[in-house]
Amino acid sequence: MTLTRKSPHLGGIHTEDLAMLREMLEHPASVLGIGDGGAHVRAICDASNPTFMLTHWVRDRTRGLRLPLEMVIHKMTGNNAALYGDWNMADQSFEYLKQVFDVNLHGVWLMTHAVAPHMVAQEFGRVINQSSAAAYNYRPTGADQFDGLNAFNYQQTKWGVVGLTKFTAAQLGRWNITVNCIAPGVIPTDATLKVVPRETVEYLATQQPVPGVIETDDLTGAAVYFASDEARFVTGQVLVIDGGKYMPA
């Protein structure tokens, strides 16, 4: 596709050429980038920045056609950049803690903040957040020497997703919008295997009441249920899928 009428204000595209930009965004080969929330399901992205794609193209655009919410979400969660595969477990600094919060927790809020007005307007919606069973991992570190308070960056942020799920469920429920959460155990995605060796994944799988390595397909049923009409009165809930390793009340 050739884009003309260049301007430095919109990446080389004149602001009146948004119809042309819309055609480019709809192209099957285009990938739209945003935030985390999907390392467990091979849908990794980075949502630490506000989602102009959603707020303008789905909700606020008044001149010309908007983009369908479902199409934008599909493109955004298909193949994008992430923090998870590069997670530095050794970095206990405050600066890195804030970075993990930006992606893992604030990214979830930004995404929900962008789509909520659209869902409220149509008086229907399904929000399915991605936490982690790590949110319930309170085991001692086993270290004999105290080198400072750990940041618990991944665990903190995934616990935050649990809380955010409940708060947003309480606010949005009156418009028939449900907000639920899936908290998976360790799943050997490409991102996981960058920070957790496969041998460790397989060993952890033997420690579950229901032993076995959890795969991405094991989350499908929960997601489909939360999105279905059968779950219209289910909201603010967290479903841990980890073979029973953690059993929060």
Is 160 within the bounds of a domain? yes
Instruction: Decide: 107 and 81 in contact? Cβ < 8 Å.
Output: no
Is 231 within the bounds of a domain? yes
Is 174 within the bounds of a domain? yes
154 is catalytic: yes
Rounded Cα distance, 20 and 27, in Å: 11
Write out the H or E segment, with its range, that includes residue 241: strand 238-241
Rounded Cα distance, 187 and 237, in Å: 21
Contacts 24+ apart (CB under 8 A), 65-73: 65/22, 67/22, 67/25, 67/26, 69/115, 69/118, 71/26, 72/32, 73/115
For residue 50, give its domain range: 31-241
Is 109 within the bounds of a domain? yes
Instruction: Decide: 80 and 89 in contact? Cβ < 8 Å.
Output: no
Mean pLDDT by 10 residues, the chain (249 residues): 34 47 63 46 42 69 77 63 66 91 88 89 94 90 84 94 98 98 92 87 94 93 94 98 92
Is 10 within the bounds of a domain? no
Is 117 within the bounds of a domain? yes
Q: Which of 84, 136, 154, 225 is catalytic?
A: 154
Non-local (6+) Cβ contacts of 243 within 8 A are: 185, 205, 208, 209, 210, 211, 212, 214
Is 79 within the bounds of a domain? yes
DSSP conformation letters of 116-181 = HHHHHHHT-EEEEEE--GGGG-------SS--S----HHHHHHHHHHHHHHHHHHHHGGGTEEEEE
The total domain count for the chain is: 1
pTM: 0.70
Is 41 within the bounds of a domain? yes
The predicted pLDDT at position 136 comes to 95
Q: What CATH number is associated with residue 235?
A: 3.40.50.720
